[in-house]
Each structure stands twice: as structure tokens, then as C-alpha cells.
Structure 1
Amino acid sequence: MRKALLLLPLLLLACAPKKAEAPQAEAEPSRVQVRVVEARRGVLERAAQVAVTLQAERDSLVAAGASGRVQRTLPAGSRVAQGEGVVFLDPAPFQEALAQARLALAQAEANLERTKNQISGNRPALLAQLEAAKAQLDAARRRYEEGKALLAVGALAPLDLKTLEAQYQQAQSAYESAKEALDRLDRAEDLRLLELQVEAARLQVRQAERNLKEATIRAPFAGEVVEVYVKEGEFVGVGNRAFRLATTDRLLAKAYLPPEEAARLTPETRFLLRQSGQEVPARLLRKTDLPGQNRLVEVVLKPEAPLTPGPAEARYQEKVAEGILLPTLAVRAEEGQAVVYAVEGDRARRLPVRLLAQEGDKAAVEGLTEGTLVVYPVPEGLREGDLLEVVR
């Protein structure tokens, strides 16, 4: 009896109706944790370098302008001003030649002056000779005409007429000579010849003066005497090189680039010249319009600090493209198309873009609005519409 009483509560509990269980909450979709980068417009550049040669801004081989024996020279390494003498020839032969030229000029001028005086005094005499010759010609003509008339009537022998004819011809020749002498005097032919001789003598004087100046071979511009090609006592001829002059304190860096690379260089491009551990900024001075025979364009740079003539290296940032700059890991290739994933609300949006260029860890693209938040790097398996959690 007592056992039955103990089991009764258990039976009642088992027969009691069960309460309804509460429904379980639905599981929230998982989110992909990503990092983002803001799209910004800019210029994609790459580091470039090219071998250059540092040369003097002005470099000249100066030749002798006159022939002579070298008397003395300045040593190589001398700094000279414009017009300063570097090589000095023996001036004595040039001074003697100038003295002779001046003497020849004085003689030519004296001859001209004497001839002018003679002409002014000879004209009356020549005119008188012409008048006398004309009178004699007229008399000889009359005698000859009378002789022919006498011969016709038999009053004169033929031999006598021949004598009268010869006298007439002789008088005519004398008249022509006198007339020619007066005409020549009036034309002043002898005077013009002497004037030409004076001009030639003056040219000789100017040439001798110029040769005397060329006895000192001077620097055409201020610079440093790099090398002297003649020695004291040697003979140097006209056109032979005497010394080399250069502006060693003003150098230019010359490089040769393919036309497409040279076209990307602008005055704003900054260069850095490296030589023997020294770095000096430089700027673009000029570049040729057309390639040379080597199909390369000459590019000339101007260093902003002193360097040494010789080889060096130029480094610069070369413009590759201009557009929206993104890390390369933010751009993915899908089905032959470059795409990025932007954050729109809390979901991923797939945006196709055009890849302009890629350099190192950066890429330049088009087709994206500046300021867009772009997933970077793109997680493996990310798709359009995936829920995102941006990790700052």
C-alpha cells in the first residue's frame, strides 16, 4: 500500500500535458571581412635610369689664324677670360710684314699723286700737239690734192705725187696719235690703274695688321685651357689646332633615349644625376625633335651643382599613365575583364574597369568614380552582393 502511494505522483506527472517548445531564431548570414582603399586620381610613375655623359657646355678646338713660330704658351689647366691670349707666336715677322705693307702703300699713294699732277700739267701740251698735228694734216692734204691736179695736166711727175701722198699719210698718223693721247688723258686710264694699286696696298696693310693680331691666339670665351697642342719653338700653320678650351665649371649631361620615352619627358620632370657617390638635381634643358642616325633622341640636362666631366647616371620618375590609382591587389581579372569590388552599403558591388597601366604594386584604371571605397585586397571567392564587414 505504501509503494502505491509513492508511485502515484510519478504517474500523475507523466500524464500531465507538455508545454509547447519556443521556436529557435533563424541564423544570420555570414559577412566577409574586408579592408578598403579610397579611389584617388593621380599619376602613375615608375623609376627610370639612363646613362649620361657630362660634357662642357662650350667646348672648342681653337686653331691658329696665322703661321709662325711659337714663342710661349699658357699651361693646361689655366683659367682665362674671353679674349685673353693662350698661345703667343713670335711677333717680329708680322711686324716686319706690316712695315713693308705700309711702305708699299706710301709708294702707291705717291705715284698716284704724281700722276695726278702730271695729268693736270700735260693736258695743255697735248691739246697744243693735237692742234699742230691737225694743221700739218690739213696742209699735207692740200698739197696732195694739188699734186693730183698737177699730175692730171702733166705738170708733176708721178714720183713727186707719191712723196706728197706719203707725207699726207704720215701727217694723218701723227694726228691720230695726238688725238689718242688726249683721249687717254681724258679717260684717266693710267690714273685708275694707280688708284687700284693704292687699294691693293691698303688691303695688304689690313692683312698685315690682322696677321699681327693673330700672332696672339686668344680664347674665344671664358673657360679653362684643357689641353695645349703646341710647344715653344714649334712652327704652327694656319688652321692647325693650338689649344682646347672648355667651360668645365658649366657642364651639360647628354643622354640618348628612344623617341617614345623621350616624348614623355617634360620641363617638370625632375632628374637626379649620380656620379661617384654624389647626387645632384638636374632639369631638362632641351631635346631634339627628330631621332638621329642611331634612331635615338638626344636629351640634354642641366645640372644644378658642379660635377666632373665624364660618365654618370640620371634617375627620374617617368610618367606611365594618369587615372584612378589603386593597389594592384584591388584589381582582379574575371572572364577577360578587369574588375574591382566596391562597398555599396554593406554589400559588395562588382564594377568593370579599364586597366591603363600597372607598375610595381600600383595600377591606373578608368571607369571608376573618385572617392569610391574599393575592396583591397580582394578575398578569394568574393562575389557580387556578398555581405561585407569593413575592418578599419
Structure 2
Amino acid sequence: MNRVVRFAVSFQFLLACAGVPAQAPPTQPPARVQTAAVVQAEFAPLHWAPGTVASREDARVAAEIGGRVVEIAEVGSAVRKGEPLARLDDAEFRLRERQARADLSRIQAQLDLVRKQEERYLTLVRDGVISGAQLDQVIAERRMREQDLDAARVALEQARLRLRQAQVRAPFDGIVVERLVEQGEYLALGAPVARLVNTGALEVRTRAPVTLAGRLRPGDGVTLRVAGRSSAHRLDVVVPVGDEASRQLELRFALTPDQAAKTGLAVGAAVQVGVPSDEPRRALAVPRDALVMRKEGTHVMRVAEGDVAQRVPVDTGAAAGDLVEVRGALRAGDRLVVRGSERLQSGQRVSVADGGTPAAVAATARPRP
């Protein structure tokens, strides 16, 4: 019995010494990724300048008449075009309007009487009872009464206009950001009532050296940078006159409500604007999502032959929309991982979910004649 036990133990020892491998763990499945291609894009050297977000509709709304303020909108309240911002005491204007209506009714009655008198005089002249001179006098009086009636109508319209002007109305949709007068104060003719700003009509205003006046045109591309994120835009206004003191000219471009919401920009926000300062050059570009930034540097994950991830260090340059200029061991057409690269290791097999989506080319400058 002892021999059998010793044999079994010896057999197990020999198997262990022979290095018979245990069952291998299952192979890790390929990582699913999305890709985009390296492209050639145009990048122009940029002159960076500070800019400010402003509203295209920003007004200190003034009163057209003078009077005591009885109502005024609260700061922060939203008003629609045509709605009242403030109301002045209109008691005097209502009295004037009533007086004008009474004058109009009186003159209308006088004119009706003269017209009837003219009809009677016409009959009497035909019958030879009175002379034509008397008829001429009645006709002249009727014409004067007609002129008086026109003047009374104008006076009534003026009274009604003053009554309407007692309410200072919003010239556009906006937010009341400042009250320039308070309830109970007397408002002089033409004095501002409140500052009204349309927060849905935003634009960026910046300045560039006057030496770029011959190069910049409406429609040229510019880059807006906010909190480290960049976006591409087109110039709407290039004021071709430089300031004598600063030697700079003003540039403007619009922000859609969606763009303002995505960037969190509001009126008065400070931004950086990149303005093309030279002719564009062609360079390799990759989507911004392809860049993996680490402490040791920036790299991209290229899908090499056999669908294997390969780490490629790169240096970044200018940006044009969602594309970023890169310098490194890349060629146009290389497939780069844009989704799923966070935990991807060099040498790991991948499964491309989209078959390689080419990146869109974003131009930063319009070709010049």
C-alpha cells in the first residue's frame, strides 16, 4: 500500500517538474473604436486679439416727451417689442385729447350748417332772390370751415400721439438691465428711461492691426477661443478705417443662440479671437477628438495594418474648427481613433465600428485673387 502511495506522489511530482502548462485564459476581444482619417487642410498664421461679446441691439431707450414717471419696468424683466418700459403721468394729455375731440365736433357742426346754407343760397340765386356776391361769401365761409376741420383733425391726432408717447415702449425684444430713472421722478424730454439689451442677438467685437486692412474681408474665417476650446466663425463686418490712437480697425462676427449656449457666453464676456495674419498654408490635420493629451506629451492612436492600435507622438499647431494641425510620423489617409482611445494600449487589436470616417476639411481663409 505504501508503494502505491509513493508512486502516486512521485508521478505528480514528475508532472509538475515537466512544466505541463495550465489552461490559458481566454483571448481579450478587440476594442471597438471609431476612426477618422488624417487630412490635408489649410491653416493661416493667426494674430490673437482680445474680444468682447456684445449685443447688436443694446439701447438706452429715451422718452419722446417729458413728464412724471408713474410706472417703470423692473431690472431683469423681459419685454417684447412694443410693450411698455415706463409710463408717464398722462392726465394732462388725456384732457388735451378730450379738448381736441370737442373742437373737432364743434367745427364739424359749423361746417354742416354752412353747407346747408350754401345749398339754400344756390336756390335763391337761381330764383334771382339774392345776388351772386352773397353766395360767394357763403362759399368762402364753407371753405374756411373745411380748413378749420382739417386743422382740428390734425390737433386731435397730435393729442392722441402725445397720449401714446406717455408710454415709453420697447423698440425690440430684450431684457431690462438698468433703470435710469425711478418712479416719481420727473423725466425731461429725450431723457433715457432704461437700458434694454437683446440677449438673442449676440456678436463678438475685436480689433486687429490696421496693417491687415487690405487682407481682411467679410466672409474670412476667424477662430474664437473660449476656456481652451476653439470654434470657427466668419467675419460679418470689417470696418476699413483704423483708429488714429491705437492704429487698429474693428472686426465683428455674429454668434447664433446655439453657439452662445454651447460656450456659455453672455454680453460682456471676454474672449480671444484669432485673425488670419498671412496667406494660408497646407498641413496635416487631425480631428480634435483624436488627440490624447498626457503629462508626458500628446499622441494619437493610429490603426495600423491588421487593425492593431499604434501610438504616435505628435506636436500640435494651429486649429481650424474641429481640425488641429499636427506634426509627427503620420501621412494623409492614416486612420486615427477618435472614439475609444482613452484606455487603448499600443499593440492592442481593435474593431473599427464605422469603417473609417473621413474628417471634414475646414478652411480658415478664402482664396484671394
Q: If the length of structure 2 is used for normalisation, what is the TM-score?
A: 0.56
Could you list the runs of 5+ residues in structure 2 that have no partner in the other structure? 1-38, 285-316, 319-331, 333-369
Percent sequence identity over aligned pairs: 27
Q: CA deviation at 1:225?
A: 0.8
Equivalent in 216, 228, 238 of residue 288 of structure 1: 238
Matched, 1:220 2:178: no
2:236 aligned counterpart, secondary structure: strand
Q: C-alpha deviations, 1:25-50, integer Å up to 9, x for none?
A: xxxxxxxxxxxxxxx98746334310
Matched, 1:261 2:212: yes
Q: CA deviation at 1:126?
A: 6.0
CA spacing shift, 1:280–1:82, aligned 2, 3 Å: farther
| RMSD (CA atoms) | 3.3
Q: CA deviation at 1:299?
A: 0.9
Q: Is the 8 A contact 1:226 1:244 kept in 2?
A: yes
Q: If the length of structure 1 is used for normalisation, what is the TM-score?
A: 0.53
Q: CA deviation at 1:287?
A: 2.3
Matched, 1:308 2:291: no
Q: Is the 8 A contact 1:273 1:312 kept in 2?
A: no
Looking at structure 1, the residues matched to 281 and 91 of structure 2 have their Cα atoms a distance apart, in angstroms, of 76
Q: Could you tell me which residue of structure 2 aligns to residue 351 of structure 1?
A: none
Counterpart of 2:45, as a letter, is: R
In terms of Rg, which structure is larger?
1
Looking at structure 1, the residues matched to 281 and 222 of structure 2 have their Cα atoms a distance apart, in angstroms, of 21
Equivalent in 265, 268, 272 of residue 224 of structure 2: 272
CA spacing shift, 1:319–1:256, aligned 2, 3 Å: closer
CA spacing shift, 1:282–1:42, aligned 2, 3 Å: closer
1:1-392 map, 5 Å: 43=42, 45-125=44-124, 180-185=133-138, 188-261=139-212, 263-264=215-216, 267=219, 269-274=221-226, 277=227, 279=229, 281=231, 283-288=233-238, 290-294=240-244, 296-303=248-255, 304-305=259-260, 306-310=264-268, 312-316=270-274, 318=276, 320-322=278-280
Q: C-alpha deviations, 1:53-75, integer Å up to 9, x for none?
A: 22112111211123322111111
2:156 aligned counterpart, secondary structure: helix
Q: How many positions carry a matched residue from both structures?
A: 240
Looking at structure 1, the residues matched to 281 and 60 of structure 2 have their Cα atoms a distance apart, in angstroms, of 51
Which stretch of the first structure deviates more once superposed, 306-315 or 119-128? 119-128
Q: CA deviation at 1:315?
A: 3.7
Q: Is the 8 A contact 1:286 1:300 kept in 2?
A: yes
Looking at structure 2, the residues matched to 248 and 221 of structure 1 have their Cα atoms a distance apart, in angstroms, of 11
Looking at structure 2, the residues matched to 288 and 267 of structure 1 have their Cα atoms a distance apart, in angstroms, of 9
Looking at structure 1, the residues matched to 275 and 70 of structure 2 have their Cα atoms a distance apart, in angstroms, of 54
Counterpart of 2:147, as a letter, is: L
Q: C-alpha deviations, 1:229-279, integer Å up to 9, x for none?
A: 2221222233222111111343211112234435246746241233xx475
2:45 aligned counterpart, secondary structure: strand
CA spacing shift, 1:190–1:247, aligned 2, 3 Å: same
Higher helix proportion: 1
CA spacing shift, 1:323–1:51, aligned 2, 3 Å: closer
CA spacing shift, 1:127–1:223, aligned 2, 3 Å: same
1:320 aligned counterpart, secondary structure: coil
